[in-house]
Structure 1
Amino acid sequence: MSTGKGLIFLGPPGSGKGTQAQQLSEALNIPHISTGEMLREAIAKQTPLGQKAQTYVDKGELVPDELLLGLIENRLNQEDAQQGWILDGFPRNVPQAEFLDKLLHKLSKFSQQAINLDVPDEVIIDRLLLRGRKDDNEQTIRRRLEVYREKTQPVLDYYRQHDRLSSIDGNRQLDKVTTTLKQVVS
């Protein structure tokens, strides 16, 4: 088994996963792999994957597994991910978590640690409304949080049962959350 760091960032949309993953990516010199960014790029470029994903994103639904799995496998095989990586936005359900475990076993890669950024819903709604993306209105945000809780809570339980979950209070100043994350992953 490789000694590279495989980190999985979990938390609802707007919890600060992307920001914190970027900070840690720079500190550890490993790539921050955001499925959300990969999907937004595919949608913007109107790739076949992007066109399929667009219909789900517009409704505030999660993009189906089959659209994500190949994308993740290809990304983890790229050169810059050979010493470690931070996955942001994947896995979002237990079948994805199981797929990731099988994939990493097949690729003989990395110790894995899941980190959950815990932030209250009302704080998330305020953050996302301030962010001002076109797909961020209160109704869509509440639906995304509902879908997140329904689909992703079992993922937290999965990693907790495998003794690989650390939960961190994400409702603090950015630098305090970053400091805590560095302590948890070192």
Structure 2
Amino acid sequence: MLNIVLFGPPGAGKGTQSEKLIEKYKVDHISTGDLFRKHLGEGTELGKLAQKYMDDGNLVPDEVVIGMVDDKINSSTDLKGFIFDGFPRTVAQARALDELLLKKGTNISGMISLEVPEEELKLRIKDRGKTSGRSDDQDEEKINNRIKVYKEETLPVAEYYQKQGKLSKIHGVGAIDEIFGKICAVIDEY
């Protein structure tokens, strides 16, 4: 199975690149943001809880996220693999994901980290906010908090996978297809 963690700060282009990777490699997509929005749209208690954390620009507790990811993996009919987009966000989540996949007889093939300068991230998020309808994409304070949370709580996940020899960094500024080509070159080496 091909299991890729697509990694990077908010606004790095993970969603855009995930769409292209899903089409090319025929893998299933697991985006915690999508899972949270689904639960919120359905009005579940889990969705309401997740929204409270997301509205404040904070991470949703690990046990909530892991449960949602496990449900998604179990309901997937595509056995070619997964693109994990925006997950894991903490080292505890990365360890839990490794354990979860091990029980299913597979593991993470690699992590691809999209590296984008902070000022570029802020511009991208604000631009996205004009069309996304997400209030957190339009509020400077929330944008700054999301980037701060990423640096403090999420960035250590890259170190976790680097220690396993699974981290590949890609410069995430440039034409979408150019960046996609660089990502595919890394994946094709797995």
Length-normalised TM-score, structure 2: 0.93
Partners of 2:118 and 2:97 in 1: how far apart? 28
What is the aligned partner in structure 2 of residue 134 from structure 1? 135
In structure 2, the gaps of 5 or more residues are none
Instruction: Give the paired residue count.
Output: 183
* Residue 111 of structure 1: how far off its partner (Å): 4.7
What is the aligned partner in structure 1 of residue 73 from structure 2? 76
* Residue 110 of structure 1: how far off its partner (Å): 4.2
What is the aligned partner in structure 1 of residue 28 from structure 2? 31
Aligned sequence identity (%) = 41
1:14 to 3, 11, 16: 11
CA contact (8 A) 2:6 2:111 kept: yes
In structure 1, the gaps of 5 or more residues are none
Partners of 1:115 and 1:48 in 2: how far apart? 33
SS in 1 for 2:136: coil
CA contact (8 A) 1:43 1:51 kept: yes
SS in 1 for 2:112: strand
CA RMSD across the alignment: 1.1
SS in 2 for 1:168: strand
1:104-156 residue CA offsets vs partner (Å, 9 max, x unmatched): 11111245211100111111111111111222211100100000110112111
* Residue 158 of structure 1: how far off its partner (Å): 0.5
Partners of 1:9 and 1:28 in 2: how far apart? 14
CA contact (8 A) 1:76 1:82 kept: no
Length-normalised TM-score, structure 1: 0.95
CA contact (8 A) 1:30 1:81 kept: yes
